[in-house]
Structure 1
Amino acid sequence: MSQIKLVYPKISDSKNSPLKQCIAFEKYDGTNLHWVWEPELGWYAFGTRRDRFDLDDRGMAEFNLAHPGLSEAPELFLKGFANSLATIFLNNPQYSCPEIAVFTEFFSLNSFAGMHQKDDPKQLILFDVQTDKGIISPFQFIQDFSGLNIARVVYRGKLTGKFIDDVREGKYGVAEGVVCKGGSSSKDLWMVKIKTYAYMQRLQQAFDRDWEKYWE
């Protein structure tokens, strides 16, 4: 295991929302995991936002010790994503780079605030891909990876105050909220998160005065 700098960027809250064209994806209540691929080694590493392990038997055993409750994730990734993603990377020139990281959310129906129920069926959702130029645009992401189990698209259009209010009021059928992403390339990519009032109430009931640690 190695400690690394934050792999996935912190997403701004809705107070900093640019009112521009975007795609809003459902935000799932789980654990952010990254997986690292390179042309010769294939899938060779994985981890959370702050650590990384070798994607082999020893590395997975170390991961399981460090992160109880996440042990099903490697098998889900290797069976559900590894070959399909590698095929896309090898067949598309825009993914010709020394290393690629993909980001998934690990969760189940009853996951809450990063905690998972042991016996619940788990799943992985793909929500971002990062090349040597940075995280790809949401438009390219949908174009290239919509055939896989990716985050559900909730909305396409201009980010407006009404949309933000509607998400908060629960009008889009999301449990936690959404992540809005815009920009035409890695250079001008922006992201903001919007969570529902219902999720806020769950946090307040579960964590009392500490609920804001899990908010936006």
Structure 2
Amino acid sequence: MKEYPKIPNYHKYLDKDCIAFYKMDGSNLRVEYSSKTGWYKWGTRLRLFNETDPDYGCAIPLFHKKYAQDLEKMLAKFYPKCQSAIFYMEFFGPKSFAGQHLADDEKDLVLFDINIYKKGFIDPETFLKVTESVHTPEVIYRGRLTEDFVTDVREKRFPIDEGVICKGMDNPKNPHSQWRCKIKTLDYLAKLKKVFGTGYNQYWE
């Protein structure tokens, strides 16, 4: 199952057009769908898991309740010949921080990306179109990725907590030319330093 690509910081993407999505503070999970076997494989960014997993097993019934049926309809409508697809979600609770979760916290899942077999990741505009009926991250900004926009994110001049994920296309005709970058707030940086001290960089950009 394809791992989600590592997201770099913004510097190499300055002055490119982008859509900036609200970034949730959680863990990256993935689920694979097959037209023959349905929802059959689950993983974090680095390992597989099932419903017995003490940390992430609860995400499976949550996904089936919140997303499975609607996403099957979406595939049938927009990708009727799709043999398989991987759906990427953020897993988090109200008290989650830097990928750490409390066992008694009520968890949620939010879909943020889709990879279609032999087509690659869906571009951000198409993603918004095909997922209109399901819960996805809020769009915070559309336009050029500028230093002024970065400053506005850093200073929380948008309704955000951790930060944003920016997505764009170097070539709209090439589905494999999609790029992503992350920008986090100074408030979040201060929290990381308070909790992790000199190890904060592991959770920063």
Which residue of structure 2 lines up, in the alignment, with residue 197 of structure 1? 186
Which residue of structure 1 lines up, in the alignment, with residue 5 of structure 2? 9
Distance 1:118 1:103 in 2: 22
Distance 1:35 1:96 in 2: 19
Distance 2:106 2:181 in 1: 29
Q: Where do residues 169-208 of structure 1 align in structure 2 (5 Å cutoff)?
A: 169-183=155-169, 184=172, 185-208=174-197
* Counterpart secondary structure, 1:187: helix
Which residue of structure 1 lines up, in the alignment, with residue 96 of structure 2? 111
Which residue of structure 2 lines up, in the alignment, with residue 78 of structure 1? 64
Once superposed, which parts of structure 1, at least 4 consecutive aligned residues long, lie more than 4 Å away? none
Task: Pick the aligned partner of 2:86 from 101, 110, 115.
Answer: 101
TM-score, length-normalised on structure 2? 0.93
**Which amino acid in structure 2 is aligned with residue 98 of structure 1?**
Q
**Which amino acid in structure 2 is aligned with residue 101 of structure 1?**
I
Residue 160 of structure 1: CA displacement? 1.3
> Could you list the runs of 5+ residues in structure 2 that have no partner in the other structure?
none
Distance 2:133 2:114 in 1: 14
Residue 116 of structure 1: CA displacement? 1.0
Distance 2:110 2:176 in 1: 24
Distance 1:167 1:96 in 2: 40
What is the CA deviation profile of residues 54-102 of structure 1, one whole-angstrom value per residue up to 9, with x for unaligned ones? xxxxx322xx1xxx33232111101000111011101223x62321000
Residue 174 of structure 1: CA displacement? 1.1
> Could you list the runs of 5+ residues in structure 1 that have no partner in the other structure?
54-58
* Counterpart secondary structure, 2:177: coil
Residue 202 of structure 1: CA displacement? 0.3
The answer to whether the Cα contact below 8 Å between 2:14 and 2:147 also exists between their aligned partners in 1 is no
Q: Where do residues 12-161 of structure 1 align in structure 2 (5 Å cutoff)?
A: 12-53=8-49, 59-61=50-52, 64=53, 68-93=54-79, 96-132=81-117, 133-161=119-147
Q: CA RMSD, aligned part only?
A: 1.4
Task: Pick the aligned partner of 1:167 from 126, 145, 153.
Answer: 153
Distance 1:85 1:212 in 2: 36
Percent identical among aligned pairs is 38
Distance 2:151 2:32 in 1: 37
